[in-house]
Amino acid sequence: MERYSVVRVSGPEAEPITRAEAKLHLKVDSDQTADDSLIDALVSAAREDAEDFTGRCFVWSTWELRLDEFPTGGNQEILLPRPPCIRVNAITYVDADGATQTLGSDNWQLDDRSEPARIRPAYNLSWPATRAVMNAVTVSYVAGYPVSDAGSPMDTTANVPAAAVAAIKLQLGNLYANREAVVVGTPPPQELAMLSHWT
């Protein structure tokens, strides 16, 4: 898998910390609403910083992995970036005639216990031929930590690791306190250093 791109196409629908938790961490009065939109945006930015730093996905989101072709040769594995993988929604490809096809789930197998998760052709099968066009293969999948179904609706943030939540809060505090201080090319912020065991 030499050439690929991966993009988030939807989600997350919630953040690992609520606005109330963010305000408590920032010591902002809960009744003060002037900065609510800013705080919401900074929570998202802090979570994205943590995800980018670790290469992981903390809260359920749908992603698309796009490849120019299926893997060939001895290694037929497709690796799914942004672990942990929850499920694969679909694998589509542009066939030799230029038509978009969906590869049935009985044609491939998923190992979602590995990180990153990996997909291989089913036993005794090979990947189909594709037309020589860019992004001929698309894998749609959901990544993030498992949800808690104790409440209604299901809580997509309940199982985000405590270290990730703590780092997001620390990065939130840094972003809120230094809203205008940006230095391009600096090392990862100290607030994210606690996540280095994932990188």
DSSP string for the chain: --SEEEEEEE--SS-SS-HHHHHHHHT--TT--TTHHHHHHHHHHHHHHHHHHHT---S-EEEEEEESS---TT---EEESSSPEEEEEEEEEE-TTS-EEE--GGGEEEE-SSSSEEEEEPTT--PPP--S-TT-EEEEEEESSPPB-SSSS-BSSTTS-HHHHHHHHHHHHHHHHTTT---TTPPPPGGGGGGGGG-
Are 74 and 36 members of one domain? no
Q: Does the pLDDT value for residue 131 go beyond 70? A: yes
Task: State both tokens at 184.
Answer: 């391009």
Return the pLDDT at 1. 45
Are 120 and 179 members of one domain? no
Q: Does the pLDDT value for residue 151 go beyond 70? A: no
Greater pLDDT, 178 or 9: 9
Greater pLDDT, 117 or 150: 117
| Number of domains forming the structure of the chain | 2
Are 45 and 75 members of one domain? no
44, 15 in Cβ contact below 8 A?
yes
Share of the chain above pLDDT 70, in %: 85
- For residue 88, the cross-strand partners are 141
Return the pLDDT at 51. 95
Nearest to 137 by CA among 66, 197, 74: 66
Q: Give a yes or no: residue 30 inside a domain.
A: yes
Alpha-carbon distance of 8 to 52, in angstroms, equals 12
Residue type for position 148: S
Greater pLDDT, 149 or 143: 143
Are 47 and 70 members of one domain? no
Are 24 and 71 members of one domain? no
Return the pLDDT at 193. 65
Q: Give a yes or no: residue 3 inside a domain.
A: no
Greater pLDDT, 191 or 37: 37
CATH code for the domain of 28: 1.10.3230
Are 72 and 107 members of one domain? yes
Q: Give a yes or no: residue 52 inside a domain.
A: yes
Q: How confident is the model at residue 199 (pLDDT cuts 50, 70, 90)?
A: low
Residues spanned by the domain of 187: 9-57+161-198
Strands 100-102 and 85-94: antiparallel
Alpha-carbon distance of 125 to 119, in angstroms, equals 13
Q: pLDDT tens digit string along 51-96?
A: 999 999 999 999 999 999 999 877 899 999 999 999 999 999 999 9
Look at 1-10, 12-21, 123-132 and tell me which has the smallest mean pLDDT: 1-10
Residues 6+ apart with CB under 8 A from 112: 84, 85, 86, 87
Are 82 and 27 members of one domain? no
Are 179 and 108 members of one domain? no
What value does the mean pLDDT take over residues 125-131? 95
What value does the mean pLDDT take over residues 117-144? 96
The 10 Å Cβ neighbour count of residue 127 is: 20
Return the pLDDT at 198. 62
Q: Give a yes or no: residue 154 inside a domain.
A: no
The 10 Å Cβ neighbour count of residue 124 is: 5
Q: Give a yes or no: residue 87 inside a domain.
A: yes
